[in-house]
Structure 1
Amino acid sequence: MLWAFVILPLLGAALAWGIPDNRKRTFVLPLFAVLHLVFSLYLVAETPPASPHGWFLLDALGKLNLLCNAVLFTVCAFYAVGYLNYRRKRNNRTLCTALLICLSAMTLVAISQHLGMLWIALEATTLTMAPLIYFNRNARSIEATWKYLLICSVGIAIALLGLFFLAYSTIVAKQEISLLLSALVRDAARLHAGWRHAAFIFLLVGFGSKMGLAPLHTWKPDAYGEAPGLVGALLAGGLVNCALLSLLRVYQVAAASTEGPLFREVLLGMGLLSMAFAAVFMARQSDFKRMLAYSSVEHVGIIAVALGLGRGALFGALLHMVNNALTKGVLFLSCGNIHRAYNSKSTQVVRGALRRTPWSGALFLAAFLAITGSPPFAPFVSEFSIVSSAFLQGSPWTGGIFLLFLAIIFIGMALTVIPVVLGEIPEDIAKTPYRDTIHTVLPPLVLMAAILVLGLWLPDPLQELIRQAAGLLGGER
Structure 2
Amino acid sequence: MMWALVLLPLAGALIAWLIPDNRKRALVLPVFALAQLFLVGALLVDTPPVSPAGWILLDPLGKLALISNSVLFAVCAFYAVGYLAYRRRRPNRVLCAALLVCLSAMTLVTISQHLGLLWIALEATTLTMAPLIYFNHNARSIEATWKYLLICSVGIAIALLGLFFLAYSTIVAKQDVTLLLPSLISDAAALHPGWRHAAFIFLLVGFGSKMGLAPLHTWKPDAYGEAPGLVGALLAGGLVNCALLALLRVYQIAVASTEGAMFQGVLLVMGLISMAFAAVFMARQSDFKRMLAYSSVEHIGIITVALGLGKGALFAGLLHMINNSMTKGVLFLSCGNIHRAYNSKSTTTVRGALRRTPWSGALFLAAFLAITGSPPFSPFVSEFLIVSSAFVQGNFWTGGLFLVFLALIFIGMASTVLPVVLGEVPADIERTRYRDTLPTVLPPLLLMGIILTMGLWLPAPLQQLLHEAAGQLGGGA
Fold shared, TM-score > 0.5 on shorter chain: yes
Q: What secondary structure does 1:52 align onto?
A: coil
Alignment RMSD: 0.5
Q: Distance in 2 between matches of 1:353 and 1:398?
A: 37
Task: Name the CA distance, whole Å, in 2 between partners of 1:316 and 1:339.
Answer: 33
Q: Which amino acid aligns with 1:167?
A: A
Q: Deviations over 1:85-141 (max 9, x none)?
A: 000000000000000000000000000000000000000000000000000000000
CA contact (8 A) 1:176 1:183 kept: no
- The answer to whether the 8 Å contact 1:330/1:448 transfers is yes
CA distance in 1 between counterparts of 2:420 and 2:368 reads 12
Q: Find the aligned partners of 1:339 and 1:41 in 2 and give their Cα distance.
A: 35
How far off is 1:448 after superposition? Answer: 0.2
**1:10-45 Cα distance to aligned partner (Å, 9 max, x none):** 000000000000100000000000000010111111
After superposition, what is the alpha-carbon deviation per residue over 1:242-263, rounded to whole angstroms, capped at 9, x for unaligned? 0000000000000000110010
- 2:115 and 2:302 map into 1 onto residues whose CA distance is 25
Q: Which residue of 1 aligns with 2:164?
A: 164
Q: Please tell me the residue identity of whatever aligns with 1:392.
A: V
Whether the 8 Å CA contact 1:130–1:145 is kept in 2: the answer is yes
Whole-Å separation in 2 of the counterparts to 1:363 and 1:5: 32
Partners of 1:400 and 1:5 lie apart in 2 by 43
Counterpart in 1 of 2:107? Answer: 107
| Correspondence for 1:241 | 241
CA distance in 1, matches of 2:53, 2:94: 36
How far is 1:79 from its partner? 0.1
1:282 alignment counterpart: 282
CA contact (8 A) 1:167 1:178 kept: yes
Q: Deviations over 1:201-252 (max 9, x none)?
A: 0000000000000000000000000000000000000000000000000000
State the partner residue of 1:410: 410
What do residues 157-193 of structure 1 show as CA deviations (whole Å, max 9, x unaligned)? Answer: 0000000000000000011210000000000000000
CA shift, 1:423, in A, is 2.4
Partner of 1:270: 270
Q: Which residue of 1 aligns with 2:181?
A: 181
CA distance in 1, matches of 2:391, 2:23: 54
Taking the TM superposition and a 5 Å limit, the aligned residue runs for 1:371-450 are: 371-450=371-450
1:311 matched to which residue of 2?
A: 311
Q: Distance in 2 between matches of 1:69 and 1:3?
A: 17
Q: Which amino acid aligns with 2:289?
A: K
Paired position in structure 1 for 2:360: 360
Output the CA distance in 2 between the equivalents of 1:283 and 1:114: 42
- Aligned pairs for 1:34-433 (under 5 A) are 34-433=34-433
For residues 265 and 45 of structure 1, the distance between their equivalents in structure 2, rounded to whole angstroms, comes to: 37
Deviation at 1:424, TM superposition (A): 2.2
Query: For 2:18 and 2:330, how far apart are their aligned partners in 1?
Result: 31
**Helix, strand or coil: the match of 1:99?**
helix
* CA–CA separation in structure 2 for the residues paired with 1:267 and 1:423: 42
1:317, 1:386 within 8 Å by CA — same for their partners in 2? yes
Find the counterpart in structure 2 of residue 5 from structure 1: 5
Paired amino acid for 2:245? L
CA distance in 1, matches of 2:4, 2:458: 31
**Is contact 1:314–1:475 with CA below 8 Å preserved after alignment?**
yes
Distance 1:26 1:16 in 2: 8
Counterpart amino acid of residue 459 in structure 2: P
SS at match of 1:90: coil
Question: Where does structure 2 lack aligned partners over 5 or more consecutive residues?
Answer: none
Structure 2: distance between partners of 1:424 and 1:305: 40
Partners of 1:64 and 1:46 lie apart in 2 by: 15
TM-score (norm 1): 1.00
SS at match of 1:176: coil
Does structure 2 retain, via aligned residues, the 8 Å contact 1:272–1:302? yes
TM-score by structure 2 length? 1.00
User: Matches of 1:4 and 1:106 in 2, distance apart?
Assistant: 13
**Structure 1 spans left out of the alignment, 5+ residues:** none
Distance in 2 (alpha carbons) for counterparts of 1:320 and 1:176: 37
Structure 1 Cα separation of the partners of residues 41 and 413 of structure 2? 36
3-state SS of paired residue (1:94): helix
The secondary structure found in structure 1 opposite 2:35 is: helix
Measured after TM superposition, the shift of residue 428 of structure 1 is 1.0
Specify the SS of the correspondent of 1:427: coil
The size of the alignment, in residue pairs, is 477
Does the residue aligned with 2:53 lie in a helix, a strand or coil?
helix
Please tell me the residue identity of whatever aligns with 1:110: T
CA distance in 1, matches of 2:384, 2:45: 29
Which of structure 1's runs of 4+ aligned residues deviate more than 3 A?
Answer: none
Tell me the SS of whatever aligns to 2:187. helix
Q: What letter corresponds to residue 14 of structure 1 in structure 2?
A: L
**Cα distance between partner residues in 2 of 1:251 and 1:85:** 43
CA drift at 1:53:
1.2
Equivalent-residue separation in structure 2 for 1:254 and 1:44 (angstroms): 28
> What is the letter of the counterpart of residue 446 of structure 2?
V
SS at match of 1:53: coil
Residue identity opposite 1:42 in structure 2: A
For residues 236-292 of structure 1, give each alpha carbon's deviation from its aligned partner in whole angstroms, at most 9, with x where no partner exists: 000000000000000000000011001000000000000000000001101000000
Q: Hey, what's the Cα distance between the residues in 1 that align with 2:274 and 2:45?
A: 36
